[in-house]
Amino acid sequence: MFRVLETYTKQSTAYKNKLQAQQTLGNPSKLVVKSLERSLKNLQKEFEIIEKELLVLVKTDYQEILTKLESIPNIGRKTAVMVVVLTDGFTKFESAAQLCSFCGLTPSIRQSGTSIHGRSRISKGVSPC
């Protein structure tokens, strides 16, 4: 379901871009504009249906984890659901370091010698979190 939502998001963006392109024309085709608007509306309805069903499934299996994630400042419902789905309720990883590496959140310091210091960056490598 999560992959379908990603696909719908990309398609929605494409329809919005096409609508904008049509409206920047001097004399846009009313038929094309109406067709794109209907397609976008239908796509948004399907997105909402799947999103609601995904939330129901996540709540039945991972309500406690979902509640804890949502209690973190700046983590909303969509982000919490995404994290739970992608990590399968955090069961896919044996340690915090593996989760950080999967997410690409492990800091890496680039340093050569004592006089030249590079900026820290995010690395995909495993490091203790």
- Decide if pLDDT at 111 tops 50: yes
- Decide if pLDDT at 28 tops 70: yes
- Decide if pLDDT at 70 tops 80: yes
- Decide if pLDDT at 122 tops 60: no
Confidence class for position 47, pLDDT limits 50, 70, 90: very high
Tell me what pLDDT residue 24 has: 86
Half-sphere exposure of 98 toward its Cβ, with a 13 Å CA cutoff?
A: 7
Q: What is the CA radius of gyration of the chain?
A: 21
The larger pLDDT score, comparing residue 44 to residue 98, is at 44
Tell me what pLDDT residue 116 has: 58
Give the residues across from 108 on adjacent strands.
Answer: 121
